[in-house]
Structure 1
Amino acid sequence: MVNWARMRDCYGDVDRVPGLLDRVEGEDDAEAWEELGYRLCLEHDLLFPASFAAFPRLVRLARRSEQARGLAGTIVQRAAGAHGCDDLLAACAGAIAEFDGLLTRHLQSRPTDYLASFCAALAAKGQYHWSAVLGDCTDDFYEVNCPHCLVEVTIAIGDYGHHSAIRDWNLGDVDRRDLRPASHQELSGTGRWMYETAVRDGEEALAAGIALLFGKAECPRCASVFNIADEYTSANRPVLRFAEEM
């Protein structure tokens, strides 16, 4: 049972969110959805106790409501931030798992919000770093350090080409080297799930980009070859104290 008297929202209020949830459960109330959005998720990617208290109800509504699915997705994607609500987040583990399953089914319908739902599903699986940066693979850039010489390498995946390069302020990407995509057999874990899901759902450009992202790059400075996803993940994966409870 949620003690709403302790669940402040973005404005420090404790009395608005429960009533707003009752309103959207009863009917499709656009005004109530708008207010819920800024009370739960407004400020600078921050979350609040009310965000986590509302999350299980949003997940239940997400089966039939695009607004609920989007708001629940925003909350789970921000969950790696410094919100001071680790105990409340840990208590949402069951709802997060339920949301993950719901999103997986939703993706199979090839919805118009495919990429947003794909990224929310990544966050629900604890892959916050990929959830935050993955694009549609038509105009994506990732910065990684070469594990051998430590130079910063730009990884480009898009319609203009797929390469590693050194980024120059005036010249752009210089000394480009072609990326080496991973084969299906080489993929495992999160990369395999991402690739197989995109293939299953007919998202060919996204699948091809994921194969490149989880493939290998050559450092333009020292010519060593490294796994792009491994280097990006090691530099960007957040450490969550509640992870063992999920």
Structure 2
Amino acid sequence: MRDCRFDVDRVPELLERVERQDDPEAWEELGWRLVLEHDLVSPASFAALPHLVHLAPRSAQARGLAGKVLERAAGRHGCDGLLANCADAIKEFREVLDEHLRSRPADYLVSFRALLAAEEEYHWANTLEGFTDDIIGVDCPHCGLPVTIVIGGFGCYSEARDGGEEIRRDLRPAVAEELTGTGRWMHQITVRDGQEVLANGIAYLFGKAECPCCASVFSVADEYTSANRPVMR
């Protein structure tokens, strides 16, 4: 199966090399053969996924690369049949990642994003940046104005322009007990694993924002999800 460089022989050779020994050069080449710039993946990307999952318990590179492939699984890659054949590997990957996250590893964010992708929460897997200064864009559902949502060390607020003036309003974080669905699941995992910054950011992400111009209040996560969650074919 062709990789992102249209070769058919290199990925099997590289997988054999990284399985024999932790070869940094092989991992680097494998990365750009399985995931190309502009979020492109190839048939070889999904064919390699079970091999990466097999290596994932002991390899940060394997976990990261498998996660990158899955983060792009909702795109127009033309490999739906190959992806369906990976169902058992993806289930195993979820279990590997959950156990790994409980150890509070150095690659926590990378593995958490991979878990989101494995759970088909693709829009969140591609959005979270660790809440040091995350920025997402939504439209106010009432007046249609583009609103910037900022969550990070410089503050948690909504921002919009009214003419030439920038107006900010503080976000309203969700109360943990009131979270439901995906937000509750994400928050519970990060709390369980002692990831205070992530848990706090998720509370704001699944909280409420006030439109700086029309003053209406809306759910940040709902508006972002409705605009960005991919439609699964």
- Tell me if both proteins adopt one fold, taking TM over 0.5 as the criterion: yes
Q: Once structures 1 and 2 are overlaid, which stretch shifts more, 16-25 or 111-120?
A: 16-25
Is contact 2:63-2:114 (8 Å) kept? no
The answer as to 2:11 corresponding to 1:17 is yes
**Identity fraction in percent:** 66
**For 1:107-144, what per-residue CA distance to the aligned partner results, in whole angstroms no more than 9, with x for missing partners?**
11111111111111111111111111112112011111
Query: What displacement does 1:168 show?
Result: 7.1
Structure-1 residue corresponding to 2:61: 67
Inter-partner Cα distance in structure 2 for 1:8 and 1:194: 35
Is contact 1:9-1:17 (8 Å) kept? yes
| RMSD after superposition | 1.6
Structure-2 residue corresponding to 1:100: 94
Aligned residue among 121, 132, 137 for 1:138: 132
Inter-partner Cα distance in structure 1 for 2:219 and 2:129: 19
The answer as to 2:169 corresponding to 1:190 is no
Inter-partner Cα distance in structure 2 for 1:46 and 1:206: 28
Q: 1:89 to 1:199 in 2, by over 3 A?
A: same
Gaps of 5+ in 2: none
The answer as to 2:221 corresponding to 1:221 is no
Q: 1:194 to 1:208 in 2, by over 3 A?
A: same
**For 1:210-244, what per-residue CA distance to the aligned partner results, in whole angstroms no more than 9, with x for missing partners?**
10110111111211111110011000001121xxx
The answer as to 2:151 corresponding to 1:151 is no
Query: What displacement does 1:50 show?
Result: 0.5
Query: What displacement does 1:62 show?
Result: 0.7
Inter-partner Cα distance in structure 1 for 2:163 and 2:130: 25
Inter-partner Cα distance in structure 1 for 2:219 and 2:198: 19
The answer as to 2:123 corresponding to 1:123 is no
**For 1:89-114, what per-residue CA distance to the aligned partner results, in whole angstroms no more than 9, with x for missing partners?**
11112211211111111111111111
Q: 1:57 to 1:154 in 2, by over 3 A?
A: same
**3-state DSSP of counterpart to 1:141:** strand
**TM-score relative to the length of structure 2:** 0.94
**3-state DSSP of counterpart to 1:63:** helix
**TM-score relative to the length of structure 1:** 0.90
Is contact 1:37-1:71 (8 Å) kept? yes
Structure-2 residue corresponding to 1:86: 80
Q: Once structures 1 and 2 are overlaid, which stretch shifts more, 88-97 or 21-30?
A: 21-30
Structure-2 residue corresponding to 1:76: 70
| 1:47 partner letter | V
Report 1:193-212 matches (<5 A).
193-212=185-204
Aligned residue pairs, count: 233
Q: Which runs of 4+ in 1 moved over 3 A?
A: 167-171
Gaps of 5+ in 1: 1-6, 242-246
Q: 1:27 to 1:169 in 2, by over 3 A?
A: farther
Q: 1:88 to 1:168 in 2, by over 3 A?
A: farther
